[in-house]
Chains A and B, each alone.
Chain A
Amino acid sequence: MSHVPSTTTGAEDVIAVLVLLSEFAMLRAPLLRSQVRLYAFQSLAMSVLAVIVAATTHTPAVYAVAGMSFVLKVVIVPAIMMRLLRDVDVNLVGSSKFGVASSSLIALGVAVFGFFAIGSLHVRHSLMSSSTTLAISSAAVLVAFVLIVLRSDVVSQAVGFFSLENGVSVASLAIAAGLPLVVAALFLFDLLVAVVAFGIIARVHHGHARTPFTDKLDRLKG
């Protein structure tokens, strides 16, 4: 008899799909501000997923992870990014070698590969979670790579990295919800530190090049 997904499992999968779709939306978003807002939405979805996992697995520590994720990823990181955007005074994302349609197709191909490659392992944490969640989050990680590679401005690339981290967080919630709180908190702290590093170097780059675009970063070769 085939396994019938529970409401909780279904909700997890839906949220994982939302995380993936928000990355596709980032890929086609023409404005830098839209990308940051999409990242905030994605992070919100991730925080909701953490609450669901906490409730279904009866793990109070995951509530704390959800709270910290919300504060950091939905509020602080987008605020820092918006401030950076005000400073650079540029609205449009960096153009890529491919158009929106081609980029989306590449991302789709990569996502399908990730979904089936990881999905074939049938990794699941418990009957309450679905092996599909890990597959979708892996697809989201790969699409984040596409975003970083195809976009050519510091904001999009930084958002790409942060959304990659969201994909990994969804994977973590799907298969490693019991990860000790201190470790989960440390991951978030590392993200915050990485945000600061990205921010500082992006500012320095803007100070030198007077542009947030990275396609001219080609002095160093060979």
Chain B
Amino acid sequence: MSSVLLALVIFPFAVAVVSYLVPLGIAKVLAPLSGAASFVLALVLVPAVVLHSHVVDGSELRVDALSVVFLIATAFLYLTTSIFSAGYLDLAPNVAGLKYGRRFYAGLNLFCWAMIVTPLLSNMALVWAAVEVTTVVSALLVAIDDTDSSTEAAWKYVLIASMGLGIALLATILLYYAGSSVFGSGFQLSYVKLLSDAHHLPADVMRLTFVLAVLGYGTKMGLVPVHTWLPDAHSEAPTPVSALLSGALLALCFYVILRFYQITSLAIGSSYPRDVFLGFGIASLLLAALYLLRQRDMKRMFAYSSVEHMGIVAIGMSFGVVLAFVGVLLHVLAHAAAKGTAFFGTGSVVRKFGTKDMAVIRGGVSALPLSGSMLVAAVFALSAMPPFGLFRSEFLIVSGGLSDPGYGVAAVLVVLVTLAFFGLSWSTTQTMLTTGPADVVGPSDLAASTGTAAAETAAEVRAAEEVGAEVGDAEEVGAKVGGGHAGDGEATRRPVDRGEVSPWIVLSMVLGIAALLLLGVHLPADLSRLLNDAARELRSPR
């Protein structure tokens, strides 16, 4: 089985390198193949970890039930995102030329490689390094469209995330210090070793270590108040990158925090780390729920939805019972599928309507019968509606919370999730499910495309859309060419024709919805055992 781990380390990296060297057409094929191979290899690990009741152990590479859960989530998004990317770049053949395409695919594969490697590593210092690699690569991917907005988002992201990782590095060093007081100087900073004798780790140092780890990795996980980079980066990144950031990267940072949680709760009991989770979780869920009520930007709305879901899993961890832990881990899987699907649908809508402003889009499902419908389904899934996986996971989390005599936190969780549900579903149904012909509000000069200036503006807008700049930048270009803001002209409703923008986008969304249904309706037995085993790994003295 060590060969499987090795293949997971080598294959995506090799594809990243090759993608930069080969023609774009080959890179487009290689990425889904690499995603599919990674996903299959991740699934192959499930029986090895669960059915044979043992962990797969290499030298520095190691997986147990917990890491396999996160590996599956990441590999699944790698597969679906690379399928989506084929359609995403197909829509802009001129701009997604060799240079852009090479950078995009090399970055995408490298980003996925770093995320796949992270849960395979047992050394916490190497884990930190891998997470740092994800930051650097994804920051460059956020900036790849080379617009004002994407540059602003990338700068904020790289700066804030790096500061967070600076704190996480301090936490890692303190963890080493705590371990060296038990195992002596020069020991390998493996969480397995630390867990083996965690009871003897110094309590004060472990308290500080855990808080710093949550603060540091929580910055990348999107926990309030250190989440401020997230809405900008998610909304301005190319859509495939947004999906990976939201569905995989946030969860992966949560995984690292869970490793710290395991060690800390064995060292000092779980009460203190659970309180820390509760504080960050409530703050994240509350703020995200409030922001969801007032969002007009579709991608930004899903970014805040990610903050909301990270708040939910943090609160789930604060309940401290196995039932809630199972829910949390199922939530990670279902959120990856749902958020990926939601972003893919958003990409389709943006391509079709030329904007991500939900206030001006009407009749989304009429214009996009398949991807529009699946986007609505993904939003309902994110709102924890049955029969999707997130309903089941949130049900388990709340059930776990209700097993606590206090009930209070579970009640708060339900109230805030309901608030977020209203925000998400109201905006989306107004945009996607309105009856009548599909149209979008735009300035009359753009709609009519009459006259030289107007024609140039429209052409520039199309060009901006083609490079993946999407709405904010389309407006920017319009403003530059038209000599003012694109909205300066009289607003009219511009009709939008019916039809899907790309079969690849539809396929990626079908996979996402299928996964959500599978997780919600019929959880496979092996997967169920995997989640239970992983949850038991997290259990510790209360």
A positions within 8 Å CB-CB of B: 57, 118, 121, 123, 125, 138, 141, 144-145, 148, 154, 157, 161, 164-165, 168, 171-172, 175-180, 183, 186-187, 189-190, 193-194, 196-198, 200-202, 204-205, 208-209, 214, 217, 219-220, 222
Chain A residues with CB under 8 A of B26: none
Chain A residues with CB under 8 A of B152: 205, 217, 219-220
Taking a contact as CB atoms closer than 8 A, the residue among B126, B140, B151 that contacts A205 in the complex is B151
Taking a contact as CB atoms closer than 8 A, the residue among B173, B185, B187, B232 that contacts A171 in the complex is B173
Taking a contact as CB atoms closer than 8 A, the residue among B126, B148, B158, B472 that contacts A208 in the complex is B148
Chain B 201-243, CB-CB to A under 8 Å as 1, else 0, gives 0001100100000000000000000000001100110000000
CB-based closest 4 A-B pairs: A178-B185, A183-B125, A175-B177, A178-B186
Q: Is the CB of A201 within 8 A of B151?
A: yes
A-B contacts, CB under 8 A, total: 134
Additional 5 contacts, C-beta under 8 A, given A144-B166, A175-B174, A222-B291: A171-B173, A176-B176, A180-B125, A205-B151, A217-B156
Q: Is the CB of B155 within 8 A of A201?
A: yes
Chain A residues with CB under 8 A of B185: 57, 125, 177-178
Is B259 positioned at the interface, with any CB of A under 8 Å from its CB?
no
CA distance A205 to B235 in the complex (A): 18
State the Cβ distance, A84 to closest chain B Cβ, in Å: 14
Chain B 175-196, CB-CB to A under 8 Å as 1, else 0, gives 0110010000111110000000
Taking a contact as CB atoms closer than 8 A, the residue among A157, A194, A222 that contacts B136 in the complex is A194
State the Cβ distance, B420 to closest chain A Cβ, in Å: 16
Is B123 positioned at the interface, with any CB of A under 8 Å from its CB?
yes
Chain A, interface SS category:
helix
Contact residues of B between 123 and 147, Cβ < 8 Å to A = 123, 125-126, 129, 132-133, 135-136, 139-140, 143, 146-147
Which residue in chain A gives the minimum CB-CB distance to B177?
Answer: A175
Which residue in chain A gives the minimum CB-CB distance to B184?
Answer: A178
Chain A residues with CB under 8 A of B189: 179-180, 183
State the Cβ distance, A124 to closest chain B Cβ, in Å: 9
Can you list 24 A-B pairs with a CB-CB distance of less than 8 A? A121-B204, A121-B208, A125-B177, A141-B166, A161-B163, A171-B170, A175-B177, A177-B185, A183-B126, A186-B125, A187-B169, A190-B132, A194-B162, A197-B135, A197-B136, A197-B158, A201-B143, A201-B151, A201-B154, A201-B155, A204-B151, A205-B155, A208-B147, A222-B291
Chain A residues with CB under 8 A of B472: 219
Which residue in chain A gives the minimum CB-CB distance to B169?
Answer: A168
Q: Is the CB of B129 within 8 A of A198?
A: no
Q: Is the CB of A176 within 8 A of B173?
A: yes
From known contacts A220-B232, A222-B291, infer whether A179 and B300 are also in contact, taking CB-CB under 8 Å.
no
CA distance A179 to B180 in the complex (A): 9
From known contacts A154-B155, A208-B148, A220-B231, infer whether A165 and B205 are also in contact, taking CB-CB under 8 Å.
no
Which residue in chain B gives the minimum CB-CB distance to A125?
Answer: B177
Is B341 positioned at the interface, with any CB of A under 8 Å from its CB?
no
Chain A residues with CB under 8 A of B167: 141
State the Cβ distance, A94 to closest chain B Cβ, in Å: 13
Q: Is the CB of B163 within 8 A of A148?
A: yes
B positions within 8 Å CB-CB of A: 123, 125-126, 129, 132-133, 135-136, 139-140, 143, 146-149, 151-156, 158-159, 162-163, 166-167, 169-170, 173-174, 176-177, 180, 185-189, 204-205, 208, 231-232, 235-236, 291, 294-295, 297, 300, 472
Q: Is the CB of B136 within 8 A of A161?
A: no
State the Cβ distance, B217 to closest chain A Cβ, in Å: 15
Chain A residues with CB under 8 A of B133: 190, 193
Which residue in chain B gives the minimum CB-CB distance to A172?
Answer: B173
State the Cβ distance, B296 to closest chain A Cβ, in Å: 9
Chain B residues with CB under 8 A of A118: 208
From known contacts A161-B163, A183-B125, A222-B291, infer whether A193 and B136 are also in contact, taking CB-CB under 8 Å.
yes
Q: Is the CB of B155 within 8 A of A186?
A: no
CA distance A33 to B537 in the complex (A): 52
Chain A residues with CB under 8 A of B169: 165, 168, 187
CA distance A154 to B151 in the complex (A): 12
The residue in B148, B167, B235 that gathers the most chain A C-beta atoms within 10 A of its C-beta is: B148
CA distance A67 to B347 in the complex (A): 48
Which residue in chain B gives the minimum CB-CB distance to A121?
Answer: B204
Chain A residues with CB under 8 A of B125: 179-180, 183, 186-187
Chain A residues with CB under 8 A of B295: 222
State the Cβ distance, B524 to closest chain A Cβ, in Å: 37
CA distance A193 to B140 in the complex (A): 11
Q: Is the CB of B166 within 8 A of A168?
A: yes
State the Cβ distance, B527 to closest chain A Cβ, in Å: 34
State the Cβ distance, A15 to closest chain B Cβ, in Å: 17
Q: Is the CB of B205 within 8 A of A121?
A: yes
CA distance A222 to B357 in the complex (A): 13
CA distance A126 to B363 in the complex (A): 69
Which residue in chain A gives the minimum CB-CB distance to B60?
Answer: A182
Chain B residues with CB under 8 A of A172: 173
CA distance A144 to B433 in the complex (A): 50
State the Cβ distance, A148 to closest chain B Cβ, in Å: 6
From known contacts A164-B166, A178-B185, infer whether A186 and B126 are also in contact, taking CB-CB under 8 Å.
yes
Chain A residues with CB under 8 A of B236: 220
CA distance A53 to B123 in the complex (A): 24
Q: Is the CB of A201 within 8 A of B132?
A: no
CA distance A138 to B173 in the complex (A): 12
Chain A residues with CB under 8 A of B174: 123, 175
Chain B residues with CB under 8 A of A157: 159
CA distance A141 to B163 in the complex (A): 10
Which residue in chain B gives the minimum CB-CB distance to A196?
Answer: B136
State the Cβ distance, A103 to closest chain B Cβ, in Å: 18
Chain B residues with CB under 8 A of A175: 173-174, 176-177
CA distance A162 to B149 in the complex (A): 25
CA distance A153 to B232 in the complex (A): 19
Q: Is the CB of A214 within 8 A of B149?
A: no
From known contacts A161-B166, A172-B173, A176-B173, infer whether A186 and B129 are also in contact, taking CB-CB under 8 Å.
yes
Q: Is the CB of B146 within 8 A of A204?
A: yes
Which residue in chain B gives the minimum CB-CB distance to A158?
Answer: B159
Which residue in chain A gives the minimum CB-CB distance to B236?
Answer: A220
State the Cβ distance, B144 to closest chain A Cβ, in Å: 10
Chain B residues with CB under 8 A of A205: 151-152, 155
Chain B residues with CB under 8 A of A183: 123, 125-126, 129, 189
CA distance A123 to B212 in the complex (A): 15
Chain B residues with CB under 8 A of A219: 148-149, 152, 472
CA distance A138 to B174 in the complex (A): 12
State the Cβ distance, A177 to closest chain B Cβ, in Å: 7
Which residue in chain A gives the minimum CB-CB distance to B291?
Answer: A222
State the Cβ distance, A72 to closest chain B Cβ, in Å: 15
Chain B residues with CB under 8 A of A145: 163
CA distance A115 to B155 in the complex (A): 30
Q: Is the CB of A164 within 8 A of B146?
A: no
